[in-house]
Amino acid sequence: MESEREEYAYILDFLPNGYPFEARPGKRGAVAQALGKERFTLLELIPKKDIFLQPYQEVYIGEQKRDHIHHISGALQYEKLTVSAKNELPYVVKQIVEQNPAKFVKFYNDAGPLSTRMHMLELIPGIGKKHMWELLEERQKEPFKSFEDMKKRVKLMPDPEQGIIRRILLELEGQEKRKIFIR
């Protein structure tokens, strides 16, 4: 069974003096906003003293000894992200999807119907009924091996990798009721 907790996160924004809009900025200390690598959880992290973090930096946040992070302050809502964190988010999501394409190709191979009228594949931006049926027919012949394989076998298929990235961003922004990829 998959762990409920994130083991690694990517830094979206690092505020060495804390949030500027707090009553007494700097009193609380440094804070980082991050995105969990497995479940796309938005997190507020408190780094160890005298540690400076960079955007896109991968940090360990699991149960074992941590090098950079003192503790996890908690989950964040999208609205609470800084402007910089919101700007970095699409690039970090893209990086995560590119580093683990097999996980997302597996989604295309395993996705099932949600109801008699709706299929999970239709929740991916750019995929309508026509592409959904073509994907189902092709994956029945042989499971997809990669995003490139999908593009070759399904005519006029919108970029499947971009579809996944767009869906994850919509879920993070709270624009989707059904969550496929985020916790």
Q: What are the boundaries of each domain within the chain? A: 8-82, 100-172
Is pLDDT at 1 greater than 60 in this prediction? no
21-35, 75-89, 108-122: least confident range:
21-35
Of 57, 56, 53, 60, nearest to 30 by C-alpha is 53
Average per-residue pLDDT in the chain?
Answer: 91
Q: Which sign does the torsion angle of CA 11, 2, 105, 120 carry?
A: negative
Task: Quote the pLDDT of residue 26.
Answer: 52
1-10, 38-47, 101-110, 164-173: least confident range:
1-10
pTM metric for this prediction: 0.90
**Exposed (0-12), middle (13-18) or buried (19+): which is 43, by Cβ within 10 Å?**
buried
DSSP string, the chain: ---SS-SEEEEEEEETT--TTSSSTTSS--EEEEEETTT--EEEEEEPTT----TT-EEE-SSS--SSEEEEEEE--GGGS-HHHHHHHHHHHHHHHHH-HHHHHHHHHH--BSSSS-BGGGGSTT--HHHHHHHHHHHHHS---SHHHHHHHSTT---HHHHHHHHHHHHHTT--SS-SS--
Range 8-82 has CATH code 2.40.50.140: yes
Percent of the chain with pLDDT over 90: 84
How confident is the model over 74-95, as a mean pLDDT?
96
Task: Quote the pLDDT of residue 4.
Answer: 73
- pLDDT-derived band of residue 5, with 50, 70 and 90 as boundaries? confident
- pLDDT-derived band of residue 183, with 50, 70 and 90 as boundaries? confident
Is pLDDT at 7 greater than 90 in this prediction? yes
Domain 100-172 in the same topology as domain 8-82: no
Q: Give CATH for domain 100-172.
A: 1.10.150.280
